């Protein structure tokens, strides 16, 4: 098995207020409002073309129907693999239905899973009854009969404080001939917490002064920022550091062109901007999935300084296919 590739409810109850004998009566609500209000789910509108978890879409020119389930909280067993310590665990299913009259090789969903307004990567895990996604690109892939369905159970994990945050999932099916163009975006809350009102990121871009932006500032076009640059110890005598690159897709609908995360990061230090490190192909190449409309994706990158080199601040350049898009500079956090 290949590892699975992968955040409620808001309640408002109005009670009856009554006065006590001998005391002045408390102010009474209108009679029509005297009954407790029923709790209601917090509804969050999605950009056009996105789907809520639990909905289905057709893909591959109608050859397949892809149906997701909502996320449900699970208690991991001792057999769980890939689950970070202290993270919350949930599972979901994907049902792939063969809509053709022929036996079909199972699609590879190639999902990308992010959580929260910043779009940080969720973790994938397997466990008893949660076997993840099988390798559909193999010599002996799973096959589905005409009209038949294949159900996958996958595990999704997020940090403990991310319960209630939205989980955004991007699927892009693959076949033996490579990736297809049928990108689909799904979103739903991670169980175990109240829905977050600030689930969607609305950055305020900094004015264009022609100078490098400070860490944490947002570039207007394309919308991106670099932040949380901090030391990570040493490796072979070289000082190691990490940072985060966040990119936001400003499109209003889920339509081409999408914003894929395939950006390179170049780190320089000192007054002469000596190159410290180059991280090609997507800030660590851990995730090159497309970004949903009006959503962000954050990727951690790691870099090193040469032996003996010291730097209180660094400059981080972001490029896309060799084209410079933004430069950020700032001090390295303690």
Using alpha carbons, list the distances in angstroms from residue 277 to 248, 296, 313.
Answer: 24, 25, 14
Strands (E), 178-322: 178-179, 184-189, 213-214, 224-235, 238-248, 259-260, 263-269, 274-279, 290-291, 296-304, 313-320
**Residues forming beta bridges with residue 52, ordered by sequence position:** 187
- CA-nearest of 279, 274, 215, 225 to 248 is 225
Q: How far apart are CA 155 and CA 125, in angstroms?
A: 5
**Kind of pairing, strands 112-115 and 296-304?**
unpaired
Contact between residue 300 and residue 229 where contact means Cβ atoms under 8 Å apart: no
Angle, CA 250 vertex, CA 244 and CA 254 arms, to 5°: 110
**Kind of pairing, strands 50-52 and 184-189?**
parallel
Q: How far apart are CA 98 and CA 102, in angstroms?
A: 8
Alpha carbon 199 to its chain centroid, in Å, reads 12
150: phi then psi, degrees, rounded to nearest 5 = -125, 125
Q: What is the pLDDT of residue 38?
A: 36
Using alpha carbons, list the distances in angstroms from residue 148 to 64, 107, 162, 214.
Answer: 10, 13, 36, 54
Alpha carbon 163 to its chain centroid, in Å, reads 14
Residue with tokens 């149906």: 67
Q: How far apart are CA 74 and CA 161, in angstroms?
A: 16
- CA-nearest of 6, 156, 157, 169 to 88 is 157
pLDDT tens, position by position, for the chain (334 residues)? Answer: 444 444 332 333 223 222 333 444 444 444 333 333 433 444 558 999 999 999 999 998 899 999 999 999 999 999 999 999 999 999 999 999 999 999 999 988 888 999 999 999 999 999 999 999 888 878 888 999 999 999 999 999 999 999 999 999 999 887 666 666 789 999 999 999 887 666 788 999 999 998 999 999 999 999 999 999 999 998 888 899 999 999 999 999 988 777 888 889 999 998 889 999 988 875 444 456 899 999 999 999 999 998 888 888 999 999 988 889 999 999 998 6
Q: What is the pLDDT of residue 223?
A: 95
């Amino acid at each position: 098995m290949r590892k699975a590739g992968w955040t409620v409810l808001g309640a408002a109850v109005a009670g009856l207020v009554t006065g006590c004998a001998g005391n002045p009566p408390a102010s009474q609500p209108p009679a029509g409002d005297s009954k407790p209000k029923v709790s209601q789910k917090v509804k969050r509108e999605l950009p056009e073309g996105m789907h809520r978890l639990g909905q289905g879409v057709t893909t591959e020119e109608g050859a397949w129907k892809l149906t997701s389930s909502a996320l449900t909280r699970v208690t991991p067993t001792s057999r769980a693999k890939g689950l970070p310590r202290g993270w919350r665990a949930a599972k979901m299913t994907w049902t792939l239905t063969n809509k053709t009259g022929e036996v079909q090789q199972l699609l590879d969903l190639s999902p990308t899973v992010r959580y929260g307004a910043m779009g940080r990567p969720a973790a994938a895990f397997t466990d008893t009854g949660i076997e993840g996604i099988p390798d559909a690109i193999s010599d002996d892939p799973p096959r589905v009969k005409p009209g038949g369905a294949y159900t996958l159970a996958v595990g999704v994990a997020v940090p403990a404080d991310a319960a209630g945050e939205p989980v955004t999932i991007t699927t892009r099916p693959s076949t033996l001939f490579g990736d297809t163009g049928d990108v689909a975006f799904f979103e739903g809350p991670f169980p175990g917490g109240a829905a977050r009102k600030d689930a969607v990121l609305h950055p305020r871009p900094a004015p264009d002064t022609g100078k490098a932006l400070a860490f944490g500032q947002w570039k207007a076009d394309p919308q991106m920022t670099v932040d949380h640059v901090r030391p990570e110890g040493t490796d072979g005598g070289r000082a190691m550091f990490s940072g985060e690159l966040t990119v936001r897709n400003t499109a209003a609908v889920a339509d081409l062109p999408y914003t894929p995360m395939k950006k390179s990061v170049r780190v320089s230090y000192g007054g002469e901007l000596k190159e410290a490190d180059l991280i090609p192909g997507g800030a660590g190449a851990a995730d090159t999935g497309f970004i949903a409309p009006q959503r962000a994706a954050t990727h951690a990158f790691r870099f090193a300084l040469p032996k003996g080199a010291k730097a209180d601040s660094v400059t981080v350049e972001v490029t896309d296919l060799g084209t410079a898009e933004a430069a950020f500079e700032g001090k390295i956090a303690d």
